[in-house]
Every structure is written in C-alpha cells, then in structure tokens.
Amino acid sequence: MENDRASQLTGRDLARYQRQIVLPQLGINGQRRLMSSRVLVVGAGALGSAAAAYLAAAGVGTLGLVDGDTVELSNLHRQILHDEAHIGWSKTQSAAHRLNVINSDIRIQEHDEFLSSANALDLFANYDLIVNGSDNFPARYLVNDAAVFLKKPVVDAAILRFEGQLAVFRPGLGCYRCLFPTPPSPGTVPDCAEAGIFGAVAGVLGSMQAVEALKVLLNLEESPSSAFLIYEALASRWHRMPFHRDPDCLVCGDTPRITALIDYQQFCGLGSDRTQATPAAASDAFSVTAEEAMRMMEDPHLTILDIRDEAEFLKGHLPRARQCSMEELDAPTFSRDMPVLVVCAAGVRSAYATQYLRSRGYEAWSLAGGMRTWGGAVSAVAIQERTRR
C-alpha cells in the first residue's frame, strides 16, 4: 500500500513537501522514495523524539517505534514527543499520537515492547533502516549485531551531560563493534539520572540522526568513508574521527565468530533484570589515573597525544605532549610498538580516541578526567613528597 501511495503524489503532497522537492538532490523521485521507505526508531525517548519528528515531517512513509517504557514527568525536559497529558502512557502510544499530528499521511507502527534477542531480527526485517536511540549498552550491541546480520544500515547516536556522539554504520563499511569491541565494566559509566543531560543536546543529536537517515534513504552521501562524530555543546564544536571496518571484528569481520544473537545482558556483565539506562560512551576500561599517568611518563618511549584544539593546548599541556586532532588519528605518525597516552579536557574525547587506536592495534590509554584533574593530582603528589621529607 505504501508503494501505491508513493507512486501517486497528490496535490496535497506537492504542497506539503514543496520546499524539499525543489532541492535538485531530491526532486519528485526523491520524495517518492521517502514515501515508500520504512524506518524503525529504537527508543521513543530523547533521541528518538527529535529523529522521529523530522522523519515524519519529511514524509518517510512508515515509521516504526519500538520501546516498552512509559512516559514520566522526568522525561519531558528532553523527550519532546511527549507532554504532561501523556504521563503514564506507553511511549510508543504517546509518540505515535504526536507524530500523527505532525503528519497524518504517514503510517506509524507501534511496537510497545523492549527490544530483545527474541524479537530484534523479526522487527528489523520489516524496515529499510534503523535509527538507534537506545540508552543502554546491551541494547546497543543487540541493535548492531541484528543490523549486521540483516545487512541494514544503522544511524546511531548517544548523549551524556553536554556531549553527544553520532555515527552511521553501513553494511560492509564497519559497525559499532569495530569502534567499541567490548562494553565498559558495569558501573563505570554513569546514567542520565546520576550524571545529567542538557536536554537540547538530545535535539541536536536526534536531528542529526534524521539528517543522516534521510541521506542514506536518498543516497546523498558525499563520501563512502565512515566517520564518528563527537559534539561538545559548551564549546559549540564538532570533532570528526574517521573509522574503518575492522577485519578482525567479531561480527562484521572477515571471519566473524558471532553469527547469531547472544545474551547481551550477560555480554555486558549485567544480570537478567532490565538494564539500567546508561548512555553510550567510550569504555574507560583503558583509562589511567593522573598518578598512573605520571608513572607511565617515566618511560621515554611513551607517546603523549593531546587531542584538544590548539588554543586549549597552548593554555597548558603535559610535558612532551604533542597536539593531535581527531582527524589525524586516521593517519598516525607514531609507532605501534610504543605505548600511547591520550589526553583531552575531561577524559571523554580521549576515551573515544583510545578505543579507536586500540581497534587499530595501538597500546593506547586515556587520562581519566583529562587536564581538569591533572593539576590537582600533581599538586597532591608534590605535597605528599614534601611531607615525606
């Protein structure tokens, strides 16, 4: 039915979508393609709200929403598809109600359930593209693996505090596991309730997910290479880190060792209860404290990379550190035989960079807390040394 609807644009369609139809990269054929497309949004929360709203407005013919949660008051500062009148509703019902108000001509499919190994493949098989706004690590690895097995593109994003991350994983060009082969240890990444989230950041990242999803559906990508983007709201800055498919990846590599969905709660070191909400961020399994970094710096062969921008670097940096942008990590000029310490302002960007370098065979470590903790730690050590004397 969606294909028949898309093949016969009406005057109403031309009026609704005229501002994007006039784009030479889209046109009437592009609009038809959108109207015949099927997109599944995993998570009708903060990211899913912004992404789904713009996909609906653009005329994506079928939008699926999968989420087993209900609307709470604490959701409303960032989950813009929901409002006070919908507290207590299922999130899929609330989101569908709002999306139908935005565009009554599209089809909304509600999947009022949590994504699991039991239902993921059946759900994904009915859609062309997956927009992942899940908020816990088991779900992220589940989304990734199911999409790889079914050769579905994934537009992935995550948020925490004032930062966000975004990546598009296309079949054959790398997956989430290529960047993050293993999840962080339980309890090492705070959830939104503990760490907080700046609500508008969700709007930025969710809107970007819609942009990237529409580009995939319309074949508008300017470059076939993949990139991992990090957004810093306080600095109004984006960082781009290229990445490649890992031939040794357990799921999408040359000789995959995971060929079926697994127990993702167990894989992430969690119990059988529903996973506590935790935004995806780089694992700190390879982070070192300032004191440990000082000991590492006794090694003259240690390479110290400061991935802050030049202005930040010039304000102060570690001895022997060299300023290195995220983009430069794609063509490093340092040896794989020497350890690498990666430094940034707060330890977030460096954790991502460390994961990336390790995926390429480097013995890389991230300075936990970044330069914000370095000065205090150095002062504390100096005081201890004077006390001993």
Q: Catalogue the E-assigned strands of the chain.
A: 38-42, 62-66, 107-111, 129-132, 154-160, 163-169, 226-232, 237-243, 287-288, 303-306, 321-323, 340-343, 364-367
What pLDDT does residue 389 have?
Answer: 43
pLDDT in tens, 294-336: 888 988 889 999 988 787 888 888 999 999 887 788 777 787 8
Class of domain 287-388: alpha beta
Tell me what pLDDT residue 281 has: 39
State the 10-residue block means of pLDDT for the chain, 389 residues long. 64 94 94 97 95 97 96 92 94 96 96 95 97 91 97 94 93 91 74 76 96 95 76 91 89 94 87 40 68 89 88 86 83 82 84 83 88 63 39
CA nearest to 160, candidates 205, 212, 130, 114: 205
Q: Say what the pLDDT of residue 333 is.
A: 79
Amino acid sitting at position 215 = K
Q: Given this structure, which CATH class describes domain 37-267?
A: alpha beta
**Domain boundaries, given as residue ranges, for the chain:** 37-267, 287-388
Non-local (6+) Cβ contacts of 344 within 8 A are 306, 307, 308, 350, 353, 367, 370, 371
Look at residue 174 in the predicted model and tell me its pLDDT. 92
Q: How far apart are CA 285 and CA 34, in angstroms?
A: 41
The catalytic residue positions are: 192, 344
**Does the predicted model carry a pTM greater than 0.85?**
no
Query: Of 91, 76, 34, nearest to 57 (Cα)?
Result: 34
pLDDT value at position 277? Answer: 34
